[in-house]
Amino acid sequence: MWKKSIKITILISLIISLIIAWSIEDWSRTVHGKLPSKTAVILHAVNNNLVPLDPDLEPPSFLSSSARPGKAAILKDDELIPLGNQKNIPVRIYRYSDAEDAPVILYFHGGAFLEGYGSIDTHDNVVRSLAARTGAVVITPGYRVAPDHIFPAAVNDSYRSLEWAYENAEQFGGNPEKIAVAGDSAGGNLAAVTALKARDENGPDLFAQLLYYPLTTFKEVEFDSRSTYDSGYYLLSRKVMLKAREAYTPESSMWDNPYTSPLEAENLEGLPPAMVITAQYDPLRDEGELYAEKLHESGTPVKTVRYNGVMHGFVSFFEIMKSGEMALNESALFLTKAADETITGEEEYKLTVQKAPAGLNRVKEEAEAFAIAAFLVGKSTYTTVTN
């Protein structure tokens, strides 16, 4: 009897495994080729609302006190930046409790410049991780967004945040003479623009700019990545991009302004060393890489890295995507070198393509993808049966 039960259990397990494997294979197939399993599984989960992305979840333990063994914990402080006329914007500061004369990173969150698409809460994991990996004081402002606040509100808030960081860095253990700007997507745009504005207005000196898949122009430019990956399946759609443009820059005359479209700036000289990270399956890929190339042509040291096999926003998934973790590690190394003033430019512009994880990392990614897929298939089956 027990032998029969074992056979039935094995048979059921095999059937379930085949269903999961078939599901992963099905989710991996797209009109643009076959996606890595982990990317396919995550996109399926997000696009089908199978997993809530809750910004209020506690960060994993390795990003808190254990992130730097034997050292102090990461602290998080909330402050307000006065704008005048009794108006303020929220700002959050991440730092080790024993921070002293540490570099400062001003991080601008992504979110299409729109209300409800991104905030200092949704990017908690990335900002906390940068603080843990670099030992820097990381400051992230909640700049005003559209539709209530059109250009140049977000730019003015971002630049005011830089001034505030310079004025207040020391009270948080930061060095006001060592400030970098960073951001992702819309935040990458604001980081680039803040670097431009700081140069133009003789503001605080910056030692680096870190741009994750930045939007660099609001103009109608024919980029292959924009037309190929703009369906929304890869987490950013043409519909959202047009909505952002209409809300944030409602007048077409704004699209040529270098403070909305840094790619259109006539002069990119005198800017801090840059790292530009892009994703293969991202409508913003080409414009980010073109901006990096133009920075290089203007004499700015630039490191450009395209991560293959991943989508827009992949760095935010670093806890479950190896490529996201690699990008954060590479970012931390770049920022450390830039703070030490050891970044040098190359004679020729170079785009580094980081391939999808291979070897043992790929085995681990495949195993984790299978586990996540098993959960998703089980959840879908349970939902179908109970409804």
252 is catalytic: no
In three-state form (DSSP H/G/I as H, E/B as E, the rest C), the secondary structure along 164-189 is HHHHHHHHHCEEEEEEEEEEECHHHH
What contacts 210, CB < 8 A, 6 or more positions away?
A: 105, 180, 181, 182, 183, 191, 274, 275, 277, 331, 334, 335
Backbone angles phi, psi at 75, to 5 degrees: -100, 155
Nearest to 46 by CA among 325, 228, 235: 235
CA angle in degrees (0–180, nearest 5) for 127-93-262: 60
Identify whether the C-beta of residue 75 lies closer than 8 Å to the C-beta of residue 96: yes
Four-residue CA torsion sign, 90, 92, 98, 101 = negative
Distance of CA 359 to the CA centre of its chain: 26
Non-local CB neighbours of 191 within 8 Å, separated by 6+ positions: 106, 107, 108, 158, 181, 182, 183, 209, 210, 211, 214
- Determine which one of 119, 185, 225, 323 is catalytic: 185
User: Can 256 be counted among the known catalytic residues?
Assistant: no
At 188, the amino acid letter reads: G
Q: Which of 124, 157, 184, 282 is catalytic?
A: 282
Whether 282 is a known active-site residue: answer yes
Q: Any idea which residue has 């007048």 for tokens? A: 251
C-alpha angle 368/372/377, rounded to 5°? 145
Q: What is the signed CA dihedral for 128, 108, 199, 287, rounded to 10 degrees? A: 110
- Pick the catalytic residue from 37, 157, 312, 323: 312
Catalytically active residues, by annotation: 185, 282, 312
